[in-house]
Amino acid sequence: MLTTEAECNSQIKTAAKEQDDREIREAYVLGKMLYYQEDYEVAKNQVSVDDFSGLHRLLFTMICSLYGRGEEPNFDNLVEMCEESGLGDIDEMCRRITTMLACADDPRGIQYYVDKLKHDSPLLCSPLAGASNYSSSCQDGNIHKYMAEGHGAHCPDLNVERPLSGTIRGTPQGQEKSLAERVKEYVEDTHGWFSRSQLDKELGICSSQEKDNRKHVLARLCQTKMIERHPDKDGWYRFVKSNVQWVDLRTVSQGASNLKLPLGIDQYVTLHPGNLIVVAGVSNVGKTAFLMNILHDNLVQWSNRIAYFCSEMGEEEFRSRCDRFPFSNTDFDRFRFAVHESVHFSDVIVPDWLNFVDFLEVNQEFWLMGDYLSEIQKKVGKGLAVVAIQMTPGKELGIGGAFSKARSRLYLTMREGTNPPRSILTIAKAKSWKGSTNPNRMAATFTISNGCRFTVGLPLGHHPSHLV
């Protein structure tokens, strides 16, 4: 018997650690089964769904199902299966699969982790059906049937019994008409491809009759060319935005957006309304100082049309940084400052203004960086957006890689040189040149004093590899 609070807390911590260790072992086995078919062949006769817990049970089922159908499992088709089945949380599923793939690179063979896993199997109560029944259910790919047979009861992470939220009652004819209106509204609000399972989840379509009506609604929308089917993925559609607004180019202004940039960058590049500027830099290289110099040097040109958003600096720290320039009381009237601790900066971007994001931090699912930047660019209107992002030392681009670069019209990188405190700025991408000189891959060295003052070492014009 535990007689003290300390003994109780100790046992709780021990149990939590054992749970974490077990999930790690499960991730190693699943990762190797997912990544290497030969490891799957080794493991399939030694482990069963009994040896896994939570979402790992569903992932094990899906991996076996794909191999059983002769398909090679990967990140995309596992997520697609999860979406189609309606089981499990998609975001959590993506995180689990990413962890599994990282575990797959461990140099120790799968047998090592199979032995570890079998030594500490969850051994959940109410044993599952036999292996033959399990294998048949998996190879059919019928996860719904598999869970409905009682196996889902042992998986607390899974939403097997989905609530009938938002159902439409009435006669079948009235129901279909009402559903058609809701489906059309949903479709018109989508961007890119969407799946039937996503549609069902959003609209609360659960019953067989509702799904049958939804099928007919989607078929009619395809016939009227409002949506189109994906050429390769069954059950996926895209809203066809066929309304074209033709432009008379004779009436279009060729004016550029005036923006002064540090280190003489504005002498080589031209920016236009609606452009996105990305500043990718390693930690503590001066990204904030760079953005604040742009802010300071453009206060008059963009007066009362500037918004500066910070995700990590509070108002006190930002004010202390301003005092180093310094900013006058009149200057403070010319821009707006706010703290916004979210990756969804598109929610607060002010259209037609000069917007600063300091900085856009993405710690997981790095491929989403492109989506976040794209949403910012869409909201900026006739203004500009300057967004700082983190860059891993030794990498050529910021977090998100090529995804972080795609929507930008000007992409700058900042890294430490081999002779600190000298740092290197590179124009990694410039879509519009000022004159005939191509500024792409131009680089310059600089130092920063007092946290705000940029001093040029070697000016723009050198290749990054020539700078030290």
CA distance linking residue 67 with residue 47, whole number of Å? 15
User: Which residue has 């259910």 as its token pair?
Assistant: 137
Cα separation of 27 and 23, whole Å? 6
Query: pLDDT for 232-265, tens place per residue?
Result: 888 899 999 877 788 888 877 777 788 999 999 9
CATH level 2 (architecture), domain 5-154:
Orthogonal Bundle (1.10)
* Rounded Cα–Cα distance for residues 171 and 150 (Å): 34
Q: What is the DSSP string of 244-291?
A: -----GGG---PPPP---GGGGGGTB---TT-EEEEEE-TTSSHHHHH
Task: Give CA–CA dist 253/211, Å, rounded.
Answer: 50
Strands (E), 363-466: 384-390, 410-416, 423-430, 443-449, 453-456
What are residue 332's phi and psi, to 5 degrees?
-65, -20
HSE-CB of 42 using CA atoms within 13 angstroms: 17
**Alpha carbon distance 308, 330 (integer Å):** 16
Please list the rounded mean pLDDT of every run of 10 residues in the chain (468 residues). 50 47 84 85 86 86 86 81 71 81 78 81 36 37 45 37 34 54 90 88 84 87 90 90 82 80 94 95 94 96 95 92 91 94 90 94 85 92 95 91 92 87 91 92 93 91 66
Q: Which CATH class is domain 172-239?
A: mainly alpha
- 337 preceded by cis ω (within 30°)? no
Average pLDDT, the chain: 80
- What angle do the packed helices 55-68 and 5-35 form, to 10 degrees? 10
Compute the distance between CA of residue 221 and CA of residue 370 in angstroms, rounded to an integer.
30
Long-range contacts formed by 314-319: CB under 8 A, 24+ apart: 314/339, 315/339
The fold adopted by the segment(s) 262-466 is Rossmann fold (3.40.50)
With a pLDDT cut of 70, the percent of the chain lying above it is 80
Start and end residues for every CATH 1.10.10.10 domain found in the chain: 172-239
Do 369 and 399 meet the contact criterion of CB atoms below 8 Å apart?
yes
CATH 1.10.860 in the chain: give the residue spans: 5-154
Joined tokens for residue 59: 């992932």
pLDDT for the residue numbered 465: 65
pLDDT value at position 359? 86
Output the pLDDT for position 202. Answer: 86
Burial class of residue 165 in the structure, from the number of CB atoms within 10 Å of its CB (0-12 exposed, 13-18 middle, 19+ buried): exposed
Mark out the alpha helices in 36-154 (DSSP H runs).
37-43, 55-68, 75-85, 90-103, 110-119, 131-139, 143-148
The tokens describing 279, both together, are: 């500043």
Cα(123)–Cα(47) distance, integer angstroms: 12
Q: Is the distance from CB of 228 to CB of 271 less than 8 angstroms?
A: no
Q: How far apart are CA 403 and CA 411, in angstroms?
A: 12
Strand partners, 129: none
- What distance in Å separates the CA atoms of residue 288 and residue 286, rounded to the nearest whole number? 6
